[in-house]
Amino acid sequence: MKNAFETVRVLLEKQCGTQDVEKILPASRLRDDLHLNSLEVVDVSLEIEKLTGKAVKSDEIEKWKTVGDIVNTVSRQ
């Protein structure tokens, strides 16, 4: 697997439907900057589970506020 940030960025590109990858930074806020709703965030977690083969706990997902938060989760997987 490529580095965690690149993996998350690719997943978020698909989820957001954006070609402007420069908008997806570790400090980007999921709701305010990328306009993801809670269902879309859950979809991202499911994709992470498929890639890593490990479940992401719901309490972990609830803590995700930024792209960096997701990257930290992927790094620990």
CB atoms within 10 A of CB 16: 20
Residue 67 has pLDDT above 70, yes or no: yes
CB atoms within 10 A of CB 73: 21
Nearest Cα to Cα of residue 12 among 67, 59, 49: 67
**Residue 25 identity (one-letter amino acid):** L
**pLDDT tens-digit profile of 43-58?**
999 999 998 889 999 9
Per-residue pLDDT band for 25 (boundaries 50, 70, 90) equals very high
CATH class of 4-76: mainly alpha
The answer to whether 74 and 12 have CB atoms below 8 angstroms apart is no
Domain ranges of the chain: 4-76
Per-residue pLDDT band for 10 (boundaries 50, 70, 90) equals confident
HSE-CB at 57 with a 13 A cutoff on CA atoms is 5
pTM, entire model:
0.87
